[in-house]
Amino acid sequence: MVQENLLQFYNCKILRNSKLNEEDLWVRNGKIIDPEKIFYDEKIQATERIDCQNAIISPGFIDLQINGGFGIDFSYNVDNVEEGINKVAKELLAHGVTSFCPTLVTSSAENYHNILPRIKKNKGGAHGATVLGVHVEGPFISTNKKGAHQEFHIKKFKNGFQSLLEIYGNLENISYITLAPEIDNSCEVISELCKRNIKVSVGHSTANLKQGEKAVKCGASFITHLFNAMLPFHHRDPGLVGLLTSDEIPKSKIIHYGIIADGIHTHPAALRIAHRTHPEGLVLVTDAISALGLQEGLHRLGQFDIEMRNGRAYIANTDTLCGSTTAMSQCVRYFKDATGCSIVHALEAATLHPARVIGIQSRKGVLDFGADADFVMLSDDLMVLSTWIAGNCVYSNSCTAISEDIVK
């Protein structure tokens, strides 16, 4: 008897166990399965065989920091929160992203109370990429490293963890929080967040290395967009950058760090330094803004007029850049070219590593048996050919995968 929903992907190279392996990928009921059970225990054949035409199959990309895209700004799209999330989730499929963390920048308590309850964790599918929970970036950050964040809304932990609850309200939909570890009472806050299984990232900060190490000992495990919005590396005190090689952190604990590989926010030499220093911790993030995916020309986004010129977003009538507009698939390619790293390392920086950051590596960011069948088919030059969630094709450029039904 033939089992329903049994898919065999063949003629492909699969990223598994940090290697590209020439073997078939088997999927049933949205999960990746062990073919040995099919051959020796169940003794059945595939419902459908899919010729991947020598494509690379990688776990789907995971973007842990994205502020919006395609005309949507998550922090200011107050009236149509759900509609905005759905639009971005759908558009991201074309870029190989199967899961993401919508990011909210420093805002008023009223804004958080309005938006946070409405960005719910949501399984992906043809409707769009999986929503893994919100990344809240601020308002507990340094005014000296605020970047584009509004200083008026930046806060301190005057009442410890209670201050955080007052600003955010319900924490249910939050996956991780970026804060500046030099702020008074931050260690208490970090410890309490970790007890609630909310990850903590350090960033937008003037912290020295010792303050960063203290935050890690309290439970922080991530660094938000390394090199950006933090003290520059100094040989007497390397600041948060020094966490990549600190001997105060147990060797059993990996400090991960986000990095924006768009050719604008981080110099190629800085990418190479970070990668060669601590490759296992590197996580590609886009930090994309609402201008991602927009056509060349003028656009009204929130309170600003934005001009797209040569694929970059500027405040209209100026030469001032206003954020990243680079998709994750582009970041992967740029990172590989800039660092000279292997295809495997480039892909794991957008899959396995971000999954580890938020603790979902048993089901996402990998193609292990039992994991979710969320993956992307890529050409040898890492162009997205098709995107799959739970074993279903949710995006295709019509150039891949020939399906062969063998059970009629």
Say if CB 204 and CB 229 are below 8 A apart.
Answer: yes
Residue 137 marked ligand-binding: yes
DSSP string, 34-100: -HHIIIIII----SEEEEEEEEEEEEPEEEEEE-EETTEETTT--TTHHHHHHHHHHHHGGGTEEEE
Look at residue 297 and tell me if it is in a domain. yes
Domain of 377, CATH number, reads 2.30.40.10
How many distinct structural domains can be found in the chain?
2
Within this chain, do residues 65 and 54 fall inside the same structural domain, yes or no? no
What Å distances lie between residue 140 and 10, 153, 203, 233, CA to CA?
Answer: 49, 9, 10, 22
Within this chain, do residues 115 and 194 fall inside the same structural domain, yes or no? yes
Residue 312 marked ligand-binding: no
Say if CB 373 and CB 394 are below 8 A apart.
Answer: no
Within this chain, do residues 178 and 116 fall inside the same structural domain, yes or no? yes
What Å distances lie between residue 120 and 81, 101, 130, 176, CA to CA?
Answer: 10, 11, 10, 14
- Residue 406 burial by Cβ neighbours in a 10 Å radius (0-12, 13-18, 19+): exposed
Say if CB 387 and CB 329 are below 8 A apart.
Answer: no
Residues annotated as catalytic (active site), given as ranges: 287
Separation of CA 321 from chain center: 22
Within this chain, do residues 382 and 234 fall inside the same structural domain, yes or no? no
Per-residue confidence (pLDDT) for residue 209, from 0 to 100: 98
Q: Distance between CA 283 and CA 285 in Å, rounded?
A: 6
Per-residue pLDDT tens listing for the chain (408 residues): 344 689 999 999 999 999 999 999 999 999 999 998 887 777 788 899 999 999 999 999 999 999 999 999 999 888 899 999 999 999 999 999 999 999 999 999 999 999 999 999 999 999 999 999 999 999 999 999 988 888 999 999 999 999 999 999 989 999 999 999 999 999 999 999 999 999 999 999 999 999 999 999 999 999 999 999 999 999 999 999 999 999 999 888 999 999 999 998 899 999 999 999 999 999 999 999 888 988 888 887 666 678 888 878 887 888 766 778 999 999 999 999 999 999 999 999 999 999 999 999 999 999 999 999 999 999 999 999 999 999 999 999 865 556 665 543
Look at residue 188 and tell me if it is in a domain. yes
Look at residue 362 and tell me if it is in a domain. no
> What global pTM score does this model have?
0.95
CB atoms inside a 10 Å sphere around CB 172: 13
Residue 228 marked ligand-binding: yes
Look at residue 293 and tell me if it is in a domain. yes
Residue 273 corresponds to which amino acid?
I
Within this chain, do residues 278 and 323 fall inside the same structural domain, yes or no? yes
Look at residue 94 and tell me if it is in a domain. yes
Within this chain, do residues 293 and 393 fall inside the same structural domain, yes or no? no
Handedness of CA 108, 111, 112, 114 (dihedral sign): positive
Domain of 105, CATH number, reads 3.20.20.140
Within this chain, do residues 172 and 47 fall inside the same structural domain, yes or no? no
Which tokens go with 95? 């870029």
Residue 274 marked ligand-binding: no
Within this chain, do residues 336 and 384 fall inside the same structural domain, yes or no? no
Within this chain, do residues 78 and 17 fall inside the same structural domain, yes or no? no
Look at residue 1 and tell me if it is in a domain. no
Q: Is the peptide bond before 139 cis (omega within 30 degrees of 0)?
A: yes
Q: Distance between CA 208 and CA 234 in Å, rounded?
A: 10
Look at residue 211 and tell me if it is in a domain. yes
Which domain range does residue 116 map to? 61-357
Within this chain, do residues 322 and 391 fall inside the same structural domain, yes or no? no
- Residue 297 burial by Cβ neighbours in a 10 Å radius (0-12, 13-18, 19+): exposed
CB within 8 Å of 163: residues ≥ 6 apart: 140, 155, 156, 157, 185, 189
Per-residue confidence (pLDDT) for residue 259, from 0 to 100: 97
Within this chain, do residues 210 and 135 fall inside the same structural domain, yes or no? yes
Q: Distance between CA 109 and CA 309 in Å, rounded?
A: 35
Residue 215 marked ligand-binding: no
Within this chain, do residues 232 and 348 fall inside the same structural domain, yes or no? yes
Q: Distance between CA 321 and CA 10 in Å, rounded?
A: 44
Look at residue 352 and tell me if it is in a domain. yes
